[in-house]
Structure 1
């Protein structure tokens, strides 16, 4: 929900870093992997209850996630392979954070962590499944023209997820409440994405059939 509004505000702030990395021949994929490694490091720190350090790792991961795409566009080397790597590592990172909280305190945090992970599977699968179909029908998304894949919006997107991760680390005692609330929001995203995606694809399929009938007529 917030990604389309937040992204234009962040891009200018990343420009100096992008220029710095470009001069040193750093590739976007290297930034992606570097950010992913730091993101995963948050998990053991959460398990150790070192939430401040975990928060720093999460912040570095998100900064790198913004830099890699901007660097790719600056170097004119945006690719489907890079986009694929980025989204796969993003979803692994997203799953690692609630998993770490569940491991840190199985008795109190295990159940909400599992519920949140289940809804993450729903948001991720509905997001990626539609992206495949959108590529087939060449459906455009004006708000995210620079993305290497179709970016399907929803109530819970990357920005909201990171805000919740920050809240987890700042107020870990409230993890169960925050996790259940965000899981509910993710569930709404899943339902609306599936319903909206189904309607959109049905419309495009019908349009394709009409075009074929006209061409054969």
Structure 2
């Protein structure tokens, strides 16, 4: 919901940095993998109750995710890079609830399972729409600049997800409620995306 306005503000800054990194020979794929590795380190940090460390890992992952796209735009995007970026993003999103489930299984495991279930809904509807849109062509643009695939927006997108991740790291006791509420919003997003796909591909 907020991705497009947020990206309009951030992209000029990221693009300047991305051009500098590309000029120094930094590869977008390397940034993607490095950011993914740091993001996955949030799982053991969460499991051990090191929530500030986990938050740092999450923020570094998101910064790397913004910079890899900027470097790709500067150096020339590739299908391989787009594939790697998207795959790593979805794995990272599911890893954070897993970390909270490991931190306190008795309290967090069921809400975490629900949130991951909801993430599967948003991710599968998102990727299914993009795949069919690419095959058919002629689908209206999504408004997301410089993306490897067609982005279908919704109530919960990347910006909202990261905001929730920040909140639950700062106040870990809120995780169960945050997971139930945000998971419910993700299911609404899934339903609207399915409805949009049924309309567009009619």
Superposition TM-score, scaled by structure 1 size: 0.90
CA contact (8 A) 1:140 1:150 kept: no
RMSD: 1.1
Other-structure match for 1:141: 141
The residue matched to 1:43 in structure 2 has which SS? helix
Q: Deviations over 1:59-113 (max 9, x none)?
A: 11001111111111111x2122111110000000000000110111000011100
- Quote the Cα distance in structure 2 between the aligned partners of 1:4 and 1:19: 21
Ranges of 4+ aligned residues in structure 1 off by more than 4 Å: none
CA contact (8 A) 1:28 1:68 kept: yes
Other-structure match for 2:193: 193
CA contact (8 A) 2:15 2:74 kept: no
Higher Rg: 1
Change (3 A) 1:21 1:11: same
CA contact (8 A) 2:102 2:109 kept: yes
TM superposition shift of 1:144: 1.7
- Structure 2, unaligned runs of 5 or more: none
Other-structure match for 1:178: 178
2:117 is the alignment partner of 1:125: no
- Quote the Cα distance in structure 2 between the aligned partners of 1:89 and 1:15: 21
Superposition TM-score, scaled by structure 2 size: 0.96
- Quote the Cα distance in structure 2 between the aligned partners of 1:16 and 1:147: 17
Other-structure match for 2:155: 155
The residue matched to 2:149 in structure 1 has which SS? coil
- Structure 1, unaligned runs of 5 or more: 203-217
2:137 is the alignment partner of 1:109: no
Number of equivalent positions: 201
